Amino acid sequence: MSSSSVIPVVLWGNRPPSHCISCIITTYDQKTIVTGSTDGQLGIWDVRFADNGEIKIIPRNLIFAHSAKVTALTKATDGWDNQSSVISAAENGELCLWDTDDGICIQTNIIPGMHLALLSFHITVGTGKEWRVVCYGSYSDIYVIDALSLEVLHTLCSLSATNWISAACMFRTAGRPDDVVITVSLSGVLSVWMLKPTVESREIKEIKSTKAVGICCNPFTQRSLLIVCVQEWLMYDAEDFKFLASAPSPPGQTWMGGDFTAADCILVWTKDGKSYLYKLPVSCCPGVQDPKQGAFVKEPTVIQVFEKPTDQCATTDFNPVMFFSYGRRGPFYKLLLRGSSDGSVSIWKLTDDYFGKVEASISPLRGIPPLVSCSCADCWEIPMKPCGLIDCLNDLGQAIPVTASLYLPSYDYIVCGREDGSIVITSAARAAITQLLQPPGSGWPAHRLLLGHRGPVTCLLYPYDDYRRYDKEFLVSGGADFAVKLWDIFTGDLLYTFSTHAGELLRLLCTPSNCSVSLLFKAFTKTNKTELLHRSCKNKY
């Protein structure tokens, strides 16, 4: 009995892949960092701690996970037996459960809507625990899903406040086993949701501030509630929601999130990636056992600033994402993570020395640089850079960046759309053999060059792979020139051009099987306009 196996091979080019980080988390043991990107990729980074306190970040895996921007990440559990499971959410509704050790996708589901955040928690079932995830986004309801199957268990809804939720957090009061969800809507309504089906929310009060971007509960006391808005952060007593304190954002900056680093300290970060450590007065710390603990302040005071040096910040970096991780086992590290649009990850280590230096606020604070930084590009800092699959197919000897690619296993074709508008079709196996096993300059395999686009090729589609009712020779391409082109993949002839679009093409999809055969595919443009393109050109050729 014969058997066959498929071995995946990745051939990188001489330039590192883009990885514009949109969200970032770390596992509970702080040995792995997971980043999501605007391209739908997941990055897996190893974090290694040396005995001398040195930290090293090593890029390990790049997972092509989603077909849209990754908007949220969460740990599937906080147990030490299954600490490598991570759930990711994308803006097109996709949910995936991943094993970060080997990059395998364990489970998938699609919930319509753009997800903004995922919150994991556990419930007690008999003598064991089961893990749940609260999912909310650009829709009025809140979904409670199973962390392992990703199935929706029940939905939390509100009839009185049906506007979208801006921020949410899990909360469990001392002495009560039940968790609740505290949310802030776009209109500033603070509500409490019981995690039970058919139970509506209970409105508490209205926040008199701008849009909330984050909310968290003090894990050290379970009494303080931090609400981070764009222009200021506010603190309330979680038991009676009494106002405790507030602080405005620095001049010219806006807040983007925050977290508690100690019972009487909070860390709040801005849109440009700068973080401020605040010391809280005793009046803002209900539930603290020893009110005399630490230095005394009369009002929230900035005692430290964490930022990347100006010369390390890329000019193209926009909206870096931040995450605070408190190690709950072993050395109890308090780490501040920063993910940038250039694909770099930075780590600050918050030591106990930072929390007691109240006198530092009297003099101008100097920003503390990260302890370590690393990016995907660091892996390409080698003398012999890898050569891409089709880099040497240009007559000028210069690599033209590939902007879209498609693999056709039935013909062993690799189809690559490039930045100059050209499309290259060649044998994937022969190109890989030539690159890996033959010496440089020995010649590249035969290829076909399709010319027609006047801008970068942004998407490719081979309809026959999706539905056998379409002709085998049809290849469809979309570009930044607003055009969709129909090609004969075997001869390289341009059959037809659809150029009535109102924006750059982002994606091409086949129409459903129950749709008329006269309709070939759907085209999605930057204007969010969807067009059905007809197959009337077949009679013409």
Each of the 541 residues of the chain gets a pLDDT tens digit; together they read 456 666 666 777 777 888 999 999 998 888 899 999 998 999 999 999 887 778 899 999 999 889 889 999 999 876 545 457 899 999 989 999 998 888 889 999 999 889 999 998 888 777 778 889 999 988 888 899 999 899 999 888 766 656 688 899 988 766 566 778 888 888 888 888 887 765 555 666 777 767 899 999 998 888 889 999 999 999 998 888 889 999 999 998 999 999 999 888 999 999 989 999 999 888 888 877 665 555 577 888 888 899 887 655 444 556 899 999 987 655 568 999 999 998 999 999 988 776 666 554 445 567 889 999 999 888 888 776 666 666 665 544 567 888 888 989 888 888 999 888 999 998 888 877 777 776 655 566 778 889 999 999 999 999 888 888 788 889 999 999 888 999 999 999 999 888 766 778 888 888 777 776 566 666 655 555 555 555 444 433 3
142 near 135, Cβ under 8 Å?
yes
Q: How far apart are CA 461 and CA 266, in angstroms?
A: 50
Q: What is the DSSP string of 487-503?
A: EETTT--EEEEE---SS
Q: Which pLDDT score, from 0 to 100, does residue 83 have?
A: 55
Q: Which pLDDT score, from 0 to 100, does residue 160 have?
A: 62
Q: Which pLDDT score, from 0 to 100, does residue 493 have?
A: 92
Side chain identity at 422, as an amino acid letter?
Answer: S
Cα–Cα separations (whole angstroms), residue 203 to 19, 97, 145, 427, 510? 40, 33, 23, 62, 45
Q: Which pLDDT score, from 0 to 100, does residue 539 have?
A: 38
pTM for the predicted model, two decimal places? 0.81
Cα–Cα separations (whole angstroms), residue 74 to 115, 227, 528? 12, 20, 29
In sequence order, the 6+-apart residues with CB closer than 8 A to the CB of 309 are 367, 369
Cα–Cα separations (whole angstroms), residue 264 to 126, 259, 294, 441? 36, 11, 9, 65
Joined together, the tokens standing for residue 185 give: 């809507």
Q: Which pLDDT score, from 0 to 100, does residue 439 have?
A: 60
The residue among 147, 138, 141 whose CA lies nearest residue 76 is 147
Rg (CA), the chain: 26
Q: How far apart are CA 370 and CA 347, in angstroms?
A: 5
The residue among 305, 322, 404 whose CA lies nearest residue 363 is 305
353 sits in which H/E element: helix 352-356
Distance linking the first and last C-alpha atoms of the chain: 46
Joined together, the tokens standing for residue 511 give: 């129409």
Q: What is the DSSP string of 121-183?
A: EEEEETTEEEEEEEEEESSSSEEEEETTT--EEEEE--SS--SPEEEEEEE--TT----EEEE
Joined together, the tokens standing for residue 476 give: 């469809």
Cα–Cα separations (whole angstroms), residue 43 to 46, 79, 152, 207, 406? 10, 22, 27, 37, 22
In sequence order, the 6+-apart residues with CB closer than 8 A to the CB of 187 are 161, 163, 206
